[in-house]
Amino acid sequence: MSDQFEISENDISLMIEVFELLGFQKERYLEENPDLMIFRDNLGGLIHHYVKYGHLERRKLTFKHPRDQVSIISERLKDKNVNGQIKLVLDAIDISQRSKCSPVSQASRLIEAIGDTPISVRLDHVGGPRIGDSLTAIPWMVELSSIFRKDIHVTGVFHSAIKPLVSTLPLRFDEPPIPGPILRFTASVLHAFGVAHSHSLHIAQGYFWLAEMAIPPIPFMLPLHMSPTMLKKGFCIHPFTTSDNGDHNKLWWPERWQLVIKHILERFPETPIYLLGTKNEDIGPYLIADSVIPILGYPLEEVLDLLVRCFFFISVDSGLSHLAHFGGVKNHLILYPAETRATVVANPRGHIIHKKLEDIMPEDVNELLDRILF
């Protein structure tokens, strides 16, 4: 197995310069120097030879970087990267050193400079084991794939239930990258959330801010995979969340949900109400009528089909509220805690009641439903 070593973000610009001095033509340089053919698949050795023996010592070309820095980086590359295994670390969460040229722009230039050399783009996702944490990173991952014109190999914490949803996207999970240089990014959902809260952004936009990229407008729309269900069209409710702190910072009280359920049953007595959740939820308080049907532990691609077709979807801030956003669901109401900025995790296509949860009354929800549906 070949050695791998890391090159920091500060070294990226030097490597770009080396490849630019090569004229983006590694093969031409090798043809002009047949004795260097041993370095065809050894980028580190090629760079080292080019810098130390080709042009730096002969002073045929002038480097923008200090001469000693070029030599030091060159020595670091020497005898490494036996099979082209360079790991370029661009830390997208370091907001203390924001530069004129973003890490993504530098990496894009580097890929262009390398030319026909195979390269993999790897993303280490640092997040919680929750659906929403993984979903909010996807728009940025897709944009990276578009910029680099390569699949993104995703590692780190990523919710397994989401993988079938993104099966048609240029994302790869649990697959080894192709042999060759590895361009590696690290992204943290906590940093993205913090940026979003500070700058009135959606958390998905926070990743773009951290990577110093143009921030796209919301709402997002992703071509998520859906699997049709045979269930009749109805209402959907999702009163559960895994990110409540135990003090009702996100969870709304079951007795208030009961009043909303009764209101829907009065207006639509023949229409099913689907109670969405995992298999471990305490569903007893919500089963107040036979038409309240538990849908527990269903694949997310089937849940998305239900949400897209339903008359209306009511939820707290949860993974399924993010699913509704990225899946294009419009008839959606989020009961949203006032402690969090309205933009951070809201579904921009939907509706929001943005108050302290104890101040959100069933009448608020019922009046909004009547206004929209009648």
Confidence of residue 242 (pLDDT cuts 50, 70, 90): confident
Q: Residue 24 pLDDT > 60, yes or no?
A: no
Confidence at residue 229, expressed as pLDDT on a 0 to 100 scale: 93
CB 230 within 8 A of CB 295: no
Confidence of residue 166 (pLDDT cuts 50, 70, 90): very high
Average pLDDT in the 10-29 region? 52
Q: Residue 186 pLDDT > 90, yes or no?
A: no
Q: Where does CATH 3.40.50.2000 sit in the chain? A: 235-373
β-pair partners for 90:
185
User: In this predicted structure, which of 180-189, 252-261, 268-277 has the lowest mean pLDDT?
Assistant: 180-189
Q: Coil, strand, or helix at residue 44?
A: helix
List the beta strands (DSSP E) in the chain.
5-7, 86-91, 120-126, 152-156, 171-173, 182-188, 235-238, 273-277, 292-296, 312-316, 332-337, 351-355
Over the stretch 80-118, which tens digit does the pLDDT of each residue have?
A: 433 333 344 433 333 334 444 566 776 676 666 556 666
CB 1 within 8 A of CB 82: no
Q: Residue 269 pLDDT > 90, yes or no?
A: yes
Average pLDDT in the 184-203 region? 85
Confidence of residue 53 (pLDDT cuts 50, 70, 90): low
For residue 242, what is the enclosing H or E element? none
Q: Which residue has the higher pLDDT, 347 or 69?
A: 347
Give the CATH number of domain 235-373: 3.40.50.2000
Distance CA 340, CA 356 (A): 10
Q: Residue 25 pLDDT > 70, yes or no?
A: no
Which of 314, 334, 308 is closest to 260 using CA atoms? 314
Sequence-distant (6+) residues with CB within 8 A of 257 are 237, 239, 285, 286
Q: Residue 23 pLDDT > 50, yes or no?
A: no
- Report percent pLDDT > 90 for the chain: 45
Average pLDDT in the 328-342 region? 88
Best-predicted range by mean pLDDT (5-14, 85-94, 316-325, 330-339): 316-325
Give, rounded to a whole angstrom, the gap between the first and last alpha carbons of the chain. 66
Confidence of residue 345 (pLDDT cuts 50, 70, 90): confident
